[in-house]
Chain A
Amino acid sequence: MASLVKQFARLNITQRSLLQNSCKLLLPASHSLHTTDTLSSKWNKANHGPRKWLVSNKTVHPPQKPDEEPRKAYVCHMRTNIKYSPDKMWYIASFVRGMSVDEAVKQLSFVLKKGATHVKEVILEAQEMAVKQHNVEYKSNLWIAESFVGKGRVFRGLRRHARGRQGIVEYKHCHYFVRLEEGEPPKDYYLPTQQTPEQQLEKWIEQMRSRKVINSL
């Protein structure tokens, strides 16, 4: 028995260098193993974000005749996977919609929400893009034509409850999309503004005068 052990020990000493070499040879094989970050890997289908939104920045419109009204320039921009709930971001996105860029930036700096800073940054980035790359002459002459939110990656975690039960916690991310268009914002983007009493009276009189009394003279 003792001799066997001795034999093994000797083998160990002699073969050590060999073993080390073989280890070195084997190392590159670890590339094929699933060792890298699952988020950055190509086989992770959920990893790519929205891909269509920025494609519209590449469309080239046909040249216009000199007598035609010049087309309004537009820029699409987005920020993906913001660590913020899409439900909460919705309020900010729809708040900003239909405003001019300057107005939106001014308003957003007083919105005390985490998402507001992201939205503001994205709008400012889009504005810069418009001026630098898309031949927009005046940077204030832009309004937010589209502003919406998408759902990003959701990570699920565990929460402990009493009696050995557990709940699922969702750590949500959201995408924010914006499209700036050249020109003045429309007057009533959401609802028409309330009419003044005079306007209401005028409308009523108009209605009264234009009615038709059936079976009358």
Chain B
Amino acid sequence: MELAASARCGIKMLQLVQPPAMQALLQMQSQQLRHRQTKHWNPKFKKLRAQKFVKLDLPNFHEKPGDLTQEEIRSRLKERGVLPPRPWLERPFHISCTGGIFEAYVPPEGDGKKSFISSVGAKQKLEFLEKKSKSVMAVRKIRSYEEEFSTDDFASEAQDIYIAAHNQMAAKNKHQLREFVTERCYPEMMHNVRDKTIHWRFLQSLEPPRLVHARVTDIVSKENLYAQVTVRFHTQQMLAIYDRFGRLMHGSEILAKDVLEYVVFEKHISNEYGKWRLHDKIIPDWLPAKEPAPITYRVIEEPEEAMELLAEGDKKLEAGAEKQNPEHLDNIESGAAVEAVNENKAAKSTTASPSI
């Protein structure tokens, strides 16, 4: 009875069920019947066995670390069992020098030639008087730490430091240079000198060097004092810069140039072993733009928006100066050692400027 019922049911099913579905049903039955015992049940190995080449993971030698996403780096580190590198959280800083000039000396325009009677001249005079008293105080403070400090003797001492620093730079003695130059100044001196040959000579001093400005400030704590002294140099120098192949890039071996400079020297006076070192050079706003390098170069066109922004920034910076220097941008692009070493020459003029 039961048998007959099931048979009837089966026939019904065969009649009702659509052909594709039935095929699947039949396949299911065939999968169940496995006669060969040597064949793996997973078909992927069949494909691998049939392949002619054994696959190899070739490394990508031209992969840059920036190309990988965070997730990819993570998975790769995990795969190789490496701990991720510790993020670098330390911030290095120097306490043997300051990071700039405080209350920078502003060289008078035209080297103090402006008339007393004109409004500009009168203003300058007033400012000088104000700053002079501060300088006197600062010199007194320096003297309390360094007893034999005198404004007259220091100027000649500063000139020795100045000459030594430049000679060491030209000779590329980076270790000896550090004795004459602060850590802030060092990268500015050594930038771009690596594959150049620099011939620099100090010919003579046209006017005796003179101390024009002095300041003392404390940083972090009250006892931690730094002294900065600005010295005016009016000298004659020779500068020739050769490129890697010995071809003259800038300057001349036979040309002596008059150089007027305001150089800042710094000393960590609370440090018993502190030394006077070259710190910075003052380049006034009114200085005319440097003449561009005498080579042909390509002006890389920047998108308009960026240019506009730059121009605005320039305006803000040079609020005091009447002229903008369009060559300034080009100079940066020409980017040679000329830039770095050009600072040797600040301005040329011969009249006296007020001193302490």
Contact = CB atoms under 8 A, between A and B. Distances in A.
A117 interface: no
B320 to A, nearest CB: 34
Interface string A1-39: 000000000000000000000000001101101011101
B281 interface: no
Interface in B44-88: 51-56, 58-59, 61-62, 80-83
B246 A61 contact: yes
Chain B contact residues (Cβ within 8 angstroms of A): what range?
A: 20 to 34
Given A37-B80, A63-B197, A160-B52, A135 B247 contact: yes
B248 interface: yes
A173 B61 contact: yes
A138 B298 CA distance: 9
A81 B199 CA distance: 42
Residue from A27, A61, A71, A155 having most chain B Cβ neighbours under 10 A: A61
B296 interface: yes
A81 B61 contact: yes
B21 to A, nearest CB: 41
A164 to B, nearest CB: 12
A63 B195 CA distance: 12
A91 interface: no
A82 B242 CA distance: 37
B290 interface: no
Contact of A71 (B62, B246, B295): B246
A197 interface: no
Chain B at the A interface: mostly helix, strand, loop or mixed?
A: loop
A62 B56 contact: no
A73 B62 CA distance: 29
Given A63-B199, A159-B53, A160-B54, A135 B246 contact: no
A69 B62 CA distance: 41
Given A155-B58, A160-B53, A63 B80 contact: no
Interface string A79-96: 011110000000000000
Contacts of B80: 35-37
Contacts of B336: 135
Chain A contact residues (Cβ within 8 angstroms of B): what range?
A: 35 or more
Contacts of A36: 80-82
A60 B295 CA distance: 21
A153 B60 CA distance: 12
A64 interface: yes
Interface of B: 51-56, 58-59, 61-62, 80-83, 195-197, 199, 240, 242-249, 295-298, 335-336
14 contacts: A27-B83, A63-B199, A63-B246, A64-B247, A83-B61, A132-B335, A134-B243, A134-B245, A135-B245, A135-B295, A157-B54, A159-B52, A169-B53, A171-B58
Interface of A: 27-28, 30-31, 33, 35-37, 39, 58-64, 66, 70-74, 80-83, 131-135, 137-138, 153, 155, 157-160, 169, 171, 173
